[in-house]
Amino acid sequence: MIPHVREVTLASPAKINLFLRILGRRADGFHELETLIVKISLADTVRVMVSDLPGDISITCDNPDIPTGADNLAHRAATLFSQAINRQINCRIYLKKNIPSGAGLGGGSSNAATVLLALNKLYGEPLNLTQLCYLGAQIGSDVPVFVHGWPAALCTGRGELISPANTQAPLPSHCLLIKPAFPVPTPWAYKAYAEMAQGDSQRVTALARVRQFAWGELRNDLEPPVFAKYLWLPATVQWLESLEGISAAAMSGSGSTVFALLSPSADTQSLLNACYKRFSPSTMISLCQIGAAPTTSNN
């Protein structure tokens, strides 16, 4: 018998946090958050292939630094999906990475959500979005926002409670990403925040930079503790904000990526040239559209 093989290829978008407020420590050890997450055009490509023959879950990635075992979030997503539908699945996952890790851009969470969506499609949509988000929340706080197709979302709780964002004015259309060669581990960033806060989140909130725009505020409460250790980051933010055509700059998530919001009249090529001149080749520089929708290809 010839096995029935099905596959789907999906874009797995990155995100930036336009604001990230930390409201305090929860009883479960997580931090209570309020954050505005927007998807951007930078994306990985995730190809998922399934077969009716007995088998297991495997991952292949074009970046040798990315783990491909059970500790990969995409692998965990496939495992949880298999358990949820009570069926052993023969699944091959191929990751083409463009989103760097340890960057605050949600690459691993996005890959996990994309695998959930792909498997759900390939198996005839046995789960609804609520069920997929429930699985995603077990993997990571950022995963549910990638399950939904909203270009911008307001996330609360530990980040897993999401709703479409209704901003007072249109969001900026483009941003410039600057990712240094070093990562910032997310657990360390929140631990450093907790140590700086000493039980009172207002101690750190008072240090956070806040800039008001028609669409809302730009802020990140993780900047004070992260900037205190990684001095390259505040220096880069300050330099970006000195450039003509940049409305403001901030760190995304727990870092280490900083992003600059472009004004409508920005000369993008001049900004890119200035970045290429200032930063070493090991620094990722990427001009991205904000709110870009991922594309799908089926075979």
Place of tokens 């802020």: 219
Q: Which two tokens stand for residue 107?
A: 């690459």
* Integer Cα distance of 173 and 281 in angstroms: 26
Cis peptide before 256 (omega within 30 of 0): yes
Q: Which residues are catalytic?
A: 15, 142
CA atoms 11, 14, 19, 20: torsion sign: positive
Helices (H) and strands (E) in the chain, counts: 9, 13
3-state helix, strand, coil in the chain (%, to 5): 30, 35, 35
Bridge partners of 43, per DSSP, are: 13
Q: Find, among 297, 259, 276, the residue nearest to 106 by Cα.
A: 259
3-state SS, residue 201 = coil
Q: Find, among 11, 23, 16, the residue nearest to 208 by Cα.
A: 23
Give the largest Cα separation in the chain, rounded: 67
